[in-house]
Structure 1
Amino acid sequence: MLQFILRRIAISGLVLLLGSMLLYFATINSGDPLQDLRESRAENREQLMAARIANMNLDMPWWQRYLTWLAGASKCLVLSCDLGQARNGANINSMLVNSAGASLRLVSISVVLAIVIGITLGVLSAIRQYSGFDYAITFLAFLFFSLPVFWAAVLLKDFGAIRFNNWIADPVLSTTAIAVIAVIFGLLVASVLGGTLTRQAITFAVTALVVFGAVFWFDTIGWWRKPALGLPLIIIGGLLALAFFLTLTVGLTERKISVAGLVTLALGVVAYFVTLPIMEDPSSWFVILGLVAATVVISGAVGWLMGGFEKKLAMFVTIGTGLSFGFLVFMDRLLRNWGGFLERKPRPISTIGSGVPGFEGTFWEVIFDWGVQLILPTMVLTLISIAGYSRYTRASMLETINQDYIRTARSKGLSDRVVYTKHALRNALIPITTIVAFDFASLLGGAVITETIFGWKGLGAMFKEGLDNVDPGPVMGYYLVAGGAAVLMNMLADIAYAFLDPRIRR
């Protein structure tokens, strides 16, 4: 395995080297970097041209310029990059750090959401093959996959930003709108749960009535401007999370693990009151990370002590339940500060930029400032990626559940839960790891369009600026991040192969 990884690193390094040479040569020959100064009538035009020639090393032949850049870029191997200066004299190292932070924040969230949602939908589609849910997901997948990025982004700017900002000033939902929301949720839940036609009709009616009542109540009390979950909803959400993890692992009938999960929820309720002063306004993210670590340790200890012979499964259930409860507590505190954020920023979602420069507020209000600007570009990238993940997962899952060993597992009397989660899903995920690796790297490239439309100062803007100015420095900085991400993600994919399929380790 080690030799395979080292060989892949060597090949990837050679590909990066040849690709950098080709991109550098194409960039410097795409135009004249001095054109704007040649047409200038400024008295100091000659001095400006001389300064730009010095910054961009235009007095050297192209191969010498490339080798100069390569010598500086090679120092990145020892974490001491020297990528030179842009044509305006700006340090490219600093530009790259600032731009990469914004882009990676956007792309990472998009990839994680696309993976979780896309794989979940793909698995459910395979299990409910040729059902109404399967047809609906297939239709939406092809629809999202064919969406042009620029068109979807413009639509979201109109409906998700401009019209939402108008609505949130005086948020009121009509009875018709509430009914439409209830019908959509009813159809979604009924199609996911499946069953006979009578069962689906009952599920649809109950879900639609519950959603209609909840949304109507929220609209009546003005929840949209002063939202909160409250402890009762947090407890209900924790119980649903416990039921989910139990269903995923041992089933709802395993008494010891179920009790361990309930004890975890009880400790979560106690922690809710204990940490209330801290959660009012945490000083930094380190406080939140500390609480997350404490949740993992305490929940894991409960599972280990009360799990009996299934300690590992019990720890998985209790840690998952504890983190879900903690996430709901976090969201409750965040939502309670939405009203304060609206007072500071009455039109919360901007169509341009990744946040308000110099915004000052509480810990929660700062999260809203950079978080709401992520919603629209993240939705664009996520929707397009979900389509691919759902289709690939569905095809891989269907191929897996038709294998002989799956039929053998069924013939032994194993339940569908055990067959799907322990036998089929793990093997079905092996081909998906390749898609995940390439998708992360390709999204960095695809974010150029998205960042341009939404005015993000990320890697996309940096790449576009370098091309417009015939400046290879920013372009090559972008290439280092995108190419390095491709190599790194492919290495992680190889390691994931070995984890998912033990035969690869031999």
Structure 2
Amino acid sequence: MVSYIARRIGVSILVFIAASFIMYVLAANSGDPLQDLEGSNSPNKQALIETRIHTQHLDLPAPVRWLLWLGGVARCIVPVGGGCDLGTTFQNQAVTQLLPQATLATIQLVTLAFVLAVVLGVALGIITALRAFSGFDYSITLVSFFLFSLPSFLIAVLLKSFIALGYNNFLADPTLSPLALAVWGIVVGLVVQLVAGGNFRKRVITFLIAGAVTALILWYMSVTQWFIKPSLGPVVVIIFCAAIAYGVVALLAGTRNRKAWITGGVTAAIAIACYFGLQWLLNMSSFGTLIILAIVAIGVGLLVGFFVGGYDRGLMMRIGALTAFLTSGVVVLDRLMRSWPAYMDLTNDRPLATVGAGTPGLNGDVWITGLDTFTHFLLPTMSLLLISFAGYTRYSRSGMLEVLNQDYVRTARAKGLPERTVIVRHAFRNMLIPITTLVATDMGALLGGAVITEYIFSISGMGQLFIAGLFRTDVNPIMGYFIVVAITAITFNFLADLTYSALDPRVRVR
């Protein structure tokens, strides 16, 4: 294993060097770096041109400048001879100072989109595979291919036009007409009956019930002005916590495991008690306090699983930890929603942002700043999510269908194992092997898609740094962007190779 890791690191370094040379030469020859100064009317134009040539080494060939840049990168790894140096921009700003802030903004944008795309795409892919060639399968396939064919800039523009502007205009008079209630009821009813499946009679009953319940809930939200003053409330929090405990237990252990029910129930009960007893602490919390509370919640879930576990302690601890994490998220979500009216006042009743990563000059507690970050990153995250979501859905569906036809799955069913055990413990693990490769390559693609998304939503991340450098033929910020993307792609591919051996015992690193 040690020799394998050493070889992979060596190969990765060679790949990085070769790719950086190609990128540097292409960027350096993409335009005239002196064009803005040559067209200037400044009286000291010649002095500015000479200064830029001297500071950026423009009098040297591109390969020589690349060697100088590579030497600065080497000093970032081995800090000798002046320390890390990635060059400066045409405005004489050090790239090492610009890159961390830009990287943080892009990571905030890409990480959530990446996680949601993987989780939702894989989950829907598995469901469509289990319901292959049904109406639900055909509907998800149609939506997936449609989203996959849309360019990222078009998705971003559509989200800004129809979601942000439409929702902000709706908040001026947040009431739903009978026609709107009927339309939403029909849409939700159609979706639910596709998911539920069954014969025609069952589909019709499901459609009517789901449509009526949806219309009734939306009517209640409209009458009570919930869209302006949202909250979950004690009853909904209790229902959500109980539903989370049930879902986690049913997924991980099945519905006949008594210890699993005890673990999930006790953990959910603790979360509900904390909802009523810790509101004073949530009101005065900071971001650090919330992190500590999340760690404590997971620790409590692990302890509950440990003491209840018995012979299957590991499974009980996983159930307790996951239930604690999700139920604590419900508690935090309720507190976040109750800060919505105050945030609307600070944004002039137009809370859903279309540009920037934050509201300039906004002051508030962790809940106000959290809502501000959420509203600014919601549409960009959705844009990147929809780009990657379709691919994961299709790959996971085809992978699950292939695995379900394998001999060991038929053997597991023939032995009388429950369908949940066959899917979760046998088919799911092997289905993840091709998904691992897709995850490794998609991370780099998401960072590339973030360039366009950040430009459309005016987020000062790595995408803006790259585009600004490209327009001016300013190579150093372009190469700063390249470093982050290259290291991320190399790292994820390396982790994918190691993950293969964990998912498939037949694969061993030698």
TM-score in same-fold range (> 0.5): yes
Any residues of structure 2 matched to 1:162-311 within 5 Å, and which? 162-283=165-286, 285-311=287-313
Q: Secondary structure at the match of 2:310?
A: coil
Give 1:3 shift: 2.7
Match of 2:405 among 402, 407, 413: 402
1:462-494 CA distance string (max 9 Å, x none): 111111111110110010001111001111111
Match of 2:92 among 64, 89, 109: 89
Equivalent pair of 1:161/1:351 in contact (CA under 8 Å): yes
Equivalent pair of 1:264/1:322 in contact (CA under 8 Å): yes
Question: Which residue identity lines up with residue 26 of structure 1 in the other structure?
Answer: L
In 2, Cα distance between equivalents of 1:343 and 1:354:
19
In 2, Cα distance between equivalents of 1:17 and 1:49:
30
1:118-154 CA distance string (max 9 Å, x none): 0011000000001111000000000000012122211
Give 1:11 shift: 1.6
Structure 2 counterpart of 1:327: 329
Structure 1 counterpart of 2:7: 7
In 2, Cα distance between equivalents of 1:313 and 1:201:
39
Equivalent pair of 1:281/1:364 in contact (CA under 8 Å): no
Q: Cα gap change, 1:207/1:307 in structure 2, threshold over 3 Å: closer, same or farther?
A: farther
Question: Which residue identity lines up with residue 51 of structure 1 in the other structure?
Answer: T
In 2, Cα distance between equivalents of 1:194 and 1:310:
35
Q: Secondary structure at the match of 1:171?
A: coil
In 1, Cα distance between equivalents of 2:196 and 2:303:
33
Q: Secondary structure at the match of 2:364?
A: coil
In 1, Cα distance between equivalents of 2:306 and 2:204:
42
Structure 2 counterpart of 1:56: 56
Match of 1:492 among 474, 490, 495: 495
In 1, Cα distance between equivalents of 2:426 and 2:311:
21
Structure 1 counterpart of 2:21: 21
Give 1:78 shift: 4.4
Give 1:320 shift: 1.5
Structure 2 counterpart of 1:372: 375
Bigger CA drift: 388-397 or 149-158?
149-158
Q: Cα gap change, 1:312/1:188 in structure 2, threshold over 3 Å: closer, same or farther?
A: farther
Give 1:212 shift: 1.6
Question: Which residue identity lines up with residue 497 of structure 1 in the other structure?
Answer: Y
Question: Which residue identity lines up with residue 233 of structure 2 in the other structure?
Answer: G
Structure 2 counterpart of 1:33: 33
In 2, Cα distance between equivalents of 1:447 and 1:366:
23
Q: What is the number of equivalent residue pairs in this alignment?
A: 505
Bigger CA drift: 441-450 or 48-57?
48-57
1:344-378 CA distance string (max 9 Å, x none): 00221232212122321121111111211111111
Give 1:168 shift: 1.3
Match of 1:131 among 131, 134, 139: 134
Q: Secondary structure at the match of 1:502?
A: coil
In 1, Cα distance between equivalents of 2:355 and 2:294:
33
In 2, Cα distance between equivalents of 1:169 and 1:98:
36
Match of 1:434 among 437, 459, 471: 437
In 2, Cα distance between equivalents of 1:337 and 1:70:
49
Give 1:273 shift: 2.6
In 2, Cα distance between equivalents of 1:321 and 1:410:
29
In 1, Cα distance between equivalents of 2:495 and 2:208:
45
Question: Which residue identity lines up with residue 472 of structure 2 in the other structure?
Answer: N
Q: Secondary structure at the match of 1:308?
A: helix
Structure 2 counterpart of 1:358: 361
Q: TM-score, normalised by structure 2?
A: 0.96
1:46 and 2:46 are equivalent in the alignment: yes
Q: Cα gap change, 1:98/1:306 in structure 2, threshold over 3 Å: closer, same or farther?
A: same
Equivalent pair of 1:463/1:475 in contact (CA under 8 Å): yes
Equivalent pair of 2:241/2:271 in contact (CA under 8 Å): no
Question: Which residue identity lines up with residue 84 of structure 2 in the other structure?
Answer: C
Question: Which residue identity lines up with residue 393 of structure 1 in the other structure?
Answer: S
Give 1:85 shift: 0.6
Equivalent pair of 1:126/1:397 in contact (CA under 8 Å): yes
In 2, Cα distance between equivalents of 1:296 and 1:351:
35
1:13-72 CA distance string (max 9 Å, x none): 111111111111111112221122122221111222222223212233333311111111
Give 1:422 shift: 0.7
Give 1:314 shift: 1.5
1:467 and 2:470 are equivalent in the alignment: yes
Structure 2 counterpart of 1:345: 347
Q: TM-score, normalised by structure 1?
A: 0.97
Bigger CA drift: 225-234 or 267-276?
267-276
Q: Secondary structure at the match of 1:429?
A: helix
Structure 2 counterpart of 1:70: 70
Structure 2: stretches of 5+ with no match in the other structure? none
Bigger CA drift: 9-18 or 477-486?
9-18
In 1, Cα distance between equivalents of 2:332 and 2:405:
42
Q: Cα gap change, 1:198/1:247 in structure 2, threshold over 3 Å: closer, same or farther?
A: farther
In 1, Cα distance between equivalents of 2:428 and 2:183:
35
Bigger CA drift: 359-368 or 127-136?
359-368
Structure 2 counterpart of 1:161: 164
1:382-441 CA distance string (max 9 Å, x none): 112111000000000000000000000010111211111111001001100110111011
Bigger CA drift: 432-441 or 59-68?
59-68
Question: Which residue identity lines up with residue 64 of structure 1 in the other structure?
Answer: V
In 2, Cα distance between equivalents of 1:503 and 1:75:
41
In 1, Cα distance between equivalents of 2:36 and 2:386:
40
In 2, Cα distance between equivalents of 1:247 and 1:440:
32
Question: Which residue identity lines up with residue 302 of structure 1 in the other structure?
Answer: V
In 2, Cα distance between equivalents of 1:205 and 1:318:
36
Equivalent pair of 2:148/2:390 in contact (CA under 8 Å): yes
Question: Which residue identity lines up with residue 18 of structure 1 in the other structure?
Answer: A
In 2, Cα distance between equivalents of 1:448 and 1:88:
21
